[in-house]
Structure 1
Amino acid sequence: MALIMVLLAMALVVMLAGGMTKHQSVRIYKAGHYLAQSQGYSIALGAEAFAGQILFRDFEADREDNLFIDSPNEAWARYSAVLPLDNGVVEVQIDDLGGRINLNDLVNPQGQPDEVTRERLTRLIEVLGIGNLSVDAIIDWIDPNDETISAYGAEDGQYLLQNPAYRAANQPFTSVTELRLLEGISEDDYQLLSLHVAALPVSGAGINVNMAPQAVIQALHPELTEAQAESVVAQREDERFETVQDFLALPEFAGLGLKAEGLTLKTHFFEVASRITYDDRVVNLVSTIYRSPAGELSTVRRDTGQKNRITKERFAVSDN
């Protein structure tokens, strides 16, 4: 009887020890995973700072030349950087946001639609072949009132019928991803439009015509054809525009009366996409960076949910 009791006690101890070991192993794994993710995120912040230094050096070069221009032929715009790392690799890419149409330019500080931006975004949607999205629905998403701007607008009444229900933001876009919530937009339409628009925290920054995609160039005037927009982009690749007047003087714009309003050659907002492969784990970080007219850099927001953002040709950076 005593032997049986000893065996039962031993079995109980073994079971408890086994359970504790398994529980401890899970905790060790979680701790290790959290540590690796934290280290990866810290490295991503370093990659963001590295990109900031590139942008600052670009500003210093422009200041030395006394010509503040951002264009596709600059190294930061052409390549992504690959940096060596113990037990991993760092990939960094800087993307221009100045060549896109800023959604928050649609409504002026007085809460009224900006007609120039409204017309340009309407044409952009047409050029991209997006059929079900109305610019008025985008304006209603931003403007502070609860009344639709037209029969093509959308306010709380439409969105409260969704499942789950939600309301219009009635404030500026904080992220382009909010477009997914708008009345009439599909995921394919969003993916296409998101490459040509931005959600900048300020209005009036202007469209950098040196960096604008072909569709944005074509959207600047209703009489511009696809072939003419292609020609403008081809000329820009051969030689960047050094003044807005050089851009407007192109033969493709002759007789159109295209105005310089809302056009610029300088970019102030950039996206820095970082992918950190470290200890067999991957950490992604997309940061929106603002570069002031004085060259000062500040981070507007960070997003760890975006993947597959490194798309440009790789350029290896030595660790020496």
Structure 2
Amino acid sequence: MNNLFRRFMENYNRRKKFIASDGIKSYLLNTNGYILLIVLIISAFLVSFTSDFFFQTSIYISSLKRARANLECEYTGLSGLEIAKAIIEIDRLGMSTGFLPNLNNNRNIDSYMDIWALDFPEFPILDGTVKISIEDENSKININALISEFAPSTKYYGILQRFFVNMGLPMDIADAIIDWVDPDDSRFPYGAESSGYYQTLSPPYKAKNAPADSIDELLLVKGITPEIYYGLGGGNYGLEKNLVEHNKGDVTLPEEKLEDLNAQPVNGSEDDNEPITAGKEKDRRLDKYLRVYGEWMKYPDESSRININTASYRVLISLTDEISDETVQEIIKKRNLEPFKTVDEISAFTGKGNTVNSLLTVKSHIFKITVTSVNLNGKYKSVYYYDRDNKKILYCSGEY
């Protein structure tokens, strides 16, 4: 041990004297020092390379895991779509009461007492959950039906004007929407066409001059800002009183009641003593009240008509100039107890022979299906517009 220590110290002192006399550069450039320098450079390179390799590898692995989770969510969402389509088909066939009691079983009408209108809880699929909601598009005003093959404007135009006025917004927006969907470059009195307005914007673009393919095209229309479209401001926002979440009645389906459905009324029809509240909806998003799907050339086609059993308060109050808040409240209270079976029944509220009745219906044809699928590592929300009569997806979109 002493010999080893002595040799170490001799070697140390020798190198120390060499460095002191000739410098570190000379030491490194001798044979042994040169090898040491190469080893140090290679070691530094390898450490840097392997660190970057493992960092990039971890990123790729995380991306693959996220992509796999997103793909699983997307396919789970497709399962949710098929379930929603099955629910709509059950309703079409008049088989609702075979699955749940106290539901509307009349194939000729659609209302919030139908199975598709229930607020279904999340249900498990594989390692995640799926939440589906079904919304009646026939409860909304079809902006493509503002025009027809034989008329520059239809009665839906008046309804849309009143809708915007009731929202505290300029009725001129209805003119701009007509100019967006009509086939010509002739400007409505307060509308906008390519040459006079859209081409002057930065960046410039052209008016559609064709039926809208998606309701969010309204974001391109003169007078409709994102704030207005998403219901976050504009008009009489924040000034309206006695707002309600919705006017659907009791459509909840609590998970804890699923085993006790035979004893539970699904809608409020079993309890006449419970007051039914009706009022303007809190949600001011335009896509809750306006739509683009439905036949517009054959005016007034059934698919473009407004379902009186599912129309919102904001749409109902816009039907005529004469209709009052009290009348709309009575319509909603009546349909929540028992849906309208024919359009003629609405005459007691709108007046016999009122031309607006030709724009109304009690049956729905197009539905908006929203599916939200969630697992441990991802979430996917998909939206489908579904034509029940033709069993056809009209439009779909999705986002992670």
Counterpart residue number, 1:297: 391
- Residue number among 292, 301, 305 corresponding to 1:199 in the alignment: 292
Conserved? CA contact 2:370–2:381, under 8 Å: yes
Conserved? CA contact 1:133–1:183, under 8 Å: no
Shift of 1:39: 1.3
Counterpart residue number, 1:148: 187
Conserved? CA contact 1:277–1:283, under 8 Å: yes
Q: Unaligned stretches of 5+ in structure 2?
A: 1-33, 98-104, 232-283
Conserved? CA contact 1:62–1:69, under 8 Å: no
SS in 2 for 1:70: coil
Counterpart residue number, 1:116: 155
* Separation in structure 2 between the aligned mates of residue 267 and residue 120 of structure 1, nearest angstrom: 19
Shift of 1:99: 1.1
- Residue number among 260, 264, 273 corresponding to 2:357 in the alignment: 260
Conserved? CA contact 1:154–1:183, under 8 Å: yes
Counterpart residue number, 1:164: 203
* Separation in structure 2 between the aligned mates of residue 196 and residue 298 of structure 1, nearest angstrom: 22
* Separation in structure 1 between the aligned mates of residue 137 and residue 77 of structure 2, nearest angstrom: 20
Cα distance change of structure 1 residues 213 and 279 upon mapping to structure 2, 3 Å threshold: same
Cα deviation 1:28-66 (Å, max 9, x = unaligned):
111221121111111111111110000001111179966
Shift of 1:229: 1.1
* Separation in structure 2 between the aligned mates of residue 291 and residue 301 of structure 1, nearest angstrom: 13
The range that moved more, 208-217 or 124-133, is 124-133
- Residue number among 5, 9, 24 corresponding to 2:42 in the alignment: 9
Structure with the greater alpha carbon radius of gyration: 2
Shift of 1:201: 4.9
Counterpart residue number, 2:124: 84
- After TM superposition, list the pairs within 5 Å mapping 1:262-281 onto structure 2: 262-281=359-378
Counterpart residue number, 1:313: none
Q: Which one-letter code corresponds to 2:146 in the other structure?
A: L
* Separation in structure 2 between the aligned mates of residue 241 and residue 275 of structure 1, nearest angstrom: 32
Conserved? CA contact 2:91–2:107, under 8 Å: no
- Residue number among 13, 18, 30 corresponding to 2:51 in the alignment: 18
Q: Which one-letter code corresponds to 2:378 in the other structure?
A: R
Q: Which one-letter code corresponds to 1:186 in the other structure?
A: T
* Separation in structure 1 between the aligned mates of residue 116 and residue 127 of structure 2, nearest angstrom: 26
Shift of 1:67: 3.7
Counterpart residue number, 1:176: 215
TM-score (normalised: structure 2): 0.70
Shift of 1:259: 4.4
SS in 1 for 2:358: coil
SS in 1 for 2:123: strand
TM-score (normalised: structure 1): 0.87
The answer to whether 1:29 aligns with 2:62 is yes
- Residue number among 210, 214, 228 corresponding to 1:189 in the alignment: 228
Would you tell me which structure has more helix in proportion to its own residues?
Answer: 2
SS in 1 for 2:148: coil
Counterpart residue number, 1:69: 109
Counterpart residue number, 1:52: 85
Shift of 1:4: 2.2
SS in 2 for 1:160: helix
Cα distance change of structure 1 residues 232 and 246 upon mapping to structure 2, 3 Å threshold: same
Cα distance change of structure 1 residues 132 and 243 upon mapping to structure 2, 3 Å threshold: closer
* Separation in structure 2 between the aligned mates of residue 234 and residue 125 of structure 1, nearest angstrom: 24
Conserved? CA contact 1:71–1:77, under 8 Å: yes
Conserved? CA contact 2:131–2:373, under 8 Å: yes
Q: Which one-letter code corresponds to 1:218 in the other structure?
A: I
- Residue number among 343, 346, 352 corresponding to 1:244 in the alignment: 343
Shift of 1:115: 2.2
Cα deviation 1:223-250 (Å, max 9, x = unaligned):
11122111111111111001111122x2
Total equivalences in the alignment: 299
* Separation in structure 2 between the aligned mates of residue 289 and residue 5 of structure 1, nearest angstrom: 70
Shift of 1:275: 1.0
Conserved? CA contact 2:155–2:356, under 8 Å: no
* Separation in structure 2 between the aligned mates of residue 263 and residue 48 of structure 1, nearest angstrom: 28
- After TM superposition, list the pairs within 5 Å mapping 1:201-240 onto structure 2: 201-203=294-296, 204=301, 205=303, 206-240=305-339
Cα deviation 1:186-240 (Å, max 9, x = unaligned):
3343232322111115322211111111121122211111221111111111110
Shift of 1:132: 6.3
Conserved? CA contact 1:215–1:229, under 8 Å: no
Cα distance change of structure 1 residues 164 and 259 upon mapping to structure 2, 3 Å threshold: closer
Q: Aligned Cα RMSD in Å?
A: 2.1
Percent identity between the aligned chains?
A: 26
Shift of 1:282: 1.3
* Separation in structure 1 between the aligned mates of residue 90 and residue 121 of structure 2, nearest angstrom: 15
Higher RCO (C-alpha under 8 Å, 6+ residues apart): 1
